[in-house]
C-alpha cells in the first residue's frame, strides 16, 4: 500500500488484524474485519463492521496523526477488550455504533492523545465497563449517546463502572478535556469518577449534556466546570448528582457549577438533598449559581447548599419529563441562567444562545436560533463503494 490508496473490502468476515503503517490510506466496507492497528497517519476506516468472536485485543488502535474511524459498527461480542484505543493526535471517531464491551473500558484516550475527538457515536449494551477513560490534552467527547450500560456489583465490589473515568495515580496527564452535548441515560453506572491523585489532571468542562436515569453520581475530584447540563434521576444510590471532593487524591478546588438542572436526583426517599454535596470541600468557596433544584412533584429541596440565584422547586415545564428535556413556553428556566458566552455559544441542539442577556437553565435554549450549524470540532466525510476506482484499489 502507498499513500492515497483506497481499499474496497468486499463483503465477508475477515479473521485477521489489519496493520496500517503507510499513511493516507482509506478502507471502505461492507465487510467484517477482526481488528485494525493503525500506526500510519491520516488513515480512514469507514462503513465497516469491526470485531468478531475471535477478537484478541482492542478492536481499533489509533496510534498515528489524523486517523479517522467513521460510520463503523464495532462489536466486541462480550470479549474483555476495548473498542477504541487512541494514542495519537488529531484523531476522529465519528458516527459509529459501539457495543459488546465487557469488564474493561470501551474507549480510551491515553496520555499521548492530543486534540482528538469522539463524536456522534452510539455506545450501548455494555457490561461492567467504563465507557470513556480520558487522558491526554484537549480531547473532546461531543454529541454521543450512551445507554444500557450496567454495573451489576456496584454495592459489593471495589470496581465501579463509569460514563467517564480519569485518575492520576501513576502521574498521568489529562487537562483541557471537553465533554459536551452528550445524552447519557438508563445506566446503572456512575456518571463519573475524576481523581487528581499525583498527576497533572485538571480543567474538565461538562456542558450541554443530559444525564438521565443514571444510578450513581459523579464523584468530582478535579478542577472542572459544569455548565448548562440537565440531570434527571441521577445518583439514586447516593444523596446527590454531583459529589464534590477536596481530600487527598481528590481536589476539585476552582470548580464551577452553573446553569444546571437537578430534577429528582439523589435518594428518592430524601427531601433534604439531591443536587450537590461535598466531602472536604467548602461549597461556598466554589462558583455555584443559577441552578434549578426540585424533588418529586417538583417540591423544593431543603439541602444545605444550592448556591446563589437558584430556582428551588416548581414545575420546570419540560416538553416531556424523562424523555424530552426541551423547555416549553412559560418555563421558569427561560431567561433564568447567567450568560456564559465567553466560554461557549450554543446549546445541545446547536442553537445559538443569546450573545447578550440571560440564558436558559439546562441543556436547551428555548428561543435559540439555528444558523449555519457546524459540528463543534469536525466535519465528517462520507465515502461509498461508488467512490472507488477499481484500478487503484489495493485489495
Q: What is the pLDDT of residue 157?
A: 57
Tell me what pLDDT residue 155 has: 56
In a shared domain, residues 375 and 335 = yes
Q: Tell whether 127 and 225 lie within a shared domain.
A: no
**One domain for residues 139 and 190:** no
Q: What values do phi and psi take at 215, rounded to 5?
A: -60, -35
Q: What is the dihedral of CA 323, 325, 328, 332, to 10 degrees?
A: 130
* Tens-place pLDDT, residues 263-279: 999 987 677 778 999 99
Range name among 3-12, 315-324, 377-386 with the lowest pLDDT average: 377-386
- Same domain for 102 and 216, yes or no, is no
Total domains present in the chain = 2
The predicted pLDDT at position 238 comes to 87
Same domain? 98 vs 132? yes
Using the 3D structure, point to which of 115, 150, 185 is the last residue of a domain. 150
For residues 197 and 58, state if they share a domain: no
Whether residue 198 is found in the same domain as residue 269: yes
In a domain, residue 160? The reply is no
- Average predicted confidence (pLDDT) for the chain: 90
Which residue would you say has higher pLDDT here, 379 or 325? 325
**pLDDT tier for residue 389 given thresholds of 50, 70 and 90:** very low
- Where does the pLDDT of residue 158 fall: very low under 50, low under 70, confident under 90, or very high at 90 and above? low
Domain boundary among 89, 115, 150: 150
Number of Cβ atoms within 10 Å of the Cβ of 198: 11
159 in a structural domain: no
Range of the domain at 133: 1-66+76-150
The predicted-structure confidence for 16-59, as pLDDT tens digits, reads as follows 999 999 999 999 989 999 999 999 999 999 999 999 998 889 99
- Residues 386 and 241: their CA atoms lie apart, in Å, by 49
Residue that wins the pLDDT comparison between 350 and 169: 350
φ and ψ of 76, to 5 deg: -90, -5
β-bridge mates for residue 243, sequence order: 219, 277
Same domain, 126 and 198: no
Do the beta carbons of residue 289 and residue 338 sit within 8 Å? yes
Answer whether 196's CB lies under 8 Å from 224's CB.
Answer: no
In this prediction, residue 151 carries a pLDDT of 80
Q: DSSP class of residue 151?
A: -
Under 8 Å between Cβ of 393 and 2: no
Residues 22 and 108 reside in one and the same domain: yes
Question: Would you say residue 3 lies in a domain?
Answer: yes
Residue 138 confidence (pLDDT) above 70: yes
**Average of per-residue pLDDT across 140-156:** 85
Instruction: Please say if the pLDDT value at position 159 is more than 80.
Output: no
- The span from the CA of 240 to the CA of 115, in Å, is 32
Cell numbers standing for residue 253: 478546588
Amino acid at each position: 500500500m502507498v499513500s492515497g490508496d483506497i481499499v474496497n473490502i468486499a463483503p465477508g468476515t475477515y479473521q485477521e488484524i489489519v496493520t496500517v503503517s503507510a499513511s493516507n490510506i482509506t478502507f471502505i466496507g461492507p465487510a467484517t474485519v477482526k481488528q485494525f492497528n493503525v500506526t500510519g497517519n491520516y488513515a480512514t476506516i469507514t462503513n465497516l463492521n469491526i470485531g468478531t468472536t475471535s477478537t484478541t485485543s482492542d478492536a481499533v488502535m489509533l496510534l498515528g496523526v489524523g486517523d479517522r474511524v467513521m460510520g463503523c459498527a464495532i462489536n466486541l461480542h462480550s470479549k474483555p477488550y476495548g473498542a477504541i484505543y487512541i494514542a495519537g493526535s488529531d484523531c476522529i471517531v465519528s458516527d459509529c455504533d459501539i457495543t459488546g464491551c465487557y469488564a474493561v473500558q470501551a474507549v480510551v484516550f491515553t496520555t499521548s492523545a492530543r486534540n482528538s475527538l469522539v463524536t456522534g457515536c452510539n455506545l450501548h449494551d455494555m457490561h461492567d465497563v467504563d465507557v470513556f477513560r480520558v487522558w491526554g490534552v484537549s480531547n473532546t467527547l461531543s454529541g454521543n449517546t450512551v445507554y444500557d450500560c450496567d454495573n451489576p456489583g456496584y454495592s459489593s465490589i471495589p470496581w465501579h463502572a463509569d460514563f467517564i473515568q480519569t485518575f492520576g495515580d501513576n502521574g498521568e496527564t489529562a487537562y483541557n478535556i471537553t465533554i459536551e452535548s452528550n445524552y447519557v441515560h438508563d445506566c446503572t453506572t456512575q456518571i463519573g469518577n475524576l481523581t487528581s491523585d499525583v498527576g497533572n489532571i485538571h480543567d474538565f468542562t461538562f456542558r450541554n449534556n443530559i444525564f438521565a436515569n443514571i444510578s450513581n453520581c459523579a464523584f468530582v475530584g478535579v478542577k472542572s466546570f459544569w455548565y448548562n447540563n440537565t440531570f434527571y434521576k441521577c445518583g439514586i444510590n447516593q444523596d446527590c448528582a454531583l459529589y464534590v471532593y477536596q481530600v487527598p487524591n481528590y481536589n476539585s478546588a476552582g470548580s464551577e457549577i452553573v446553569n444546571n438542572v437537578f430534577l429528582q436526583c439523589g435518594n428518592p426517599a430524601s427531601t433534604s438533598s439531591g443536587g450537590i454535596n461535598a466531602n472536604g470541600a467548602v461549597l461556598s468557596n466554589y462558583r455555584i449559581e443559577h441552578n434549578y433544584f426540585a424533588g418529586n412533584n417538583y417540591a423544593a429541596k431543603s439541602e444545605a447548599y444550592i448556591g446563589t440565584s437558584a430556582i428551588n422547586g416548581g414545575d420546570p415545564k419540560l416538553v416531556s419529563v424523562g424523555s424530552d428535556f426541551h423547555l416549553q413556553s412559560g418555563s421558569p428556566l427561560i431567561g433564568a441562567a447567567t450568560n456564559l458566552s465567553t466560554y461557549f455559544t450554543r446549546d445541545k441542539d446547536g442553537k445559538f444562545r443569546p450573545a447578550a442577556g440571560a440564558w436558559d437553565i439546562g441543556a436547551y435554549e428555548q428561543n435559540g436560533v439555528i444558523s449555519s450549524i457546524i459540528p463543534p470540532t469536525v466535519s465528517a466525510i462520507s465515502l461509498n463503494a461508488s467512490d472507488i476506482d477499481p484500478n487503484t484499489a489495493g485489495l
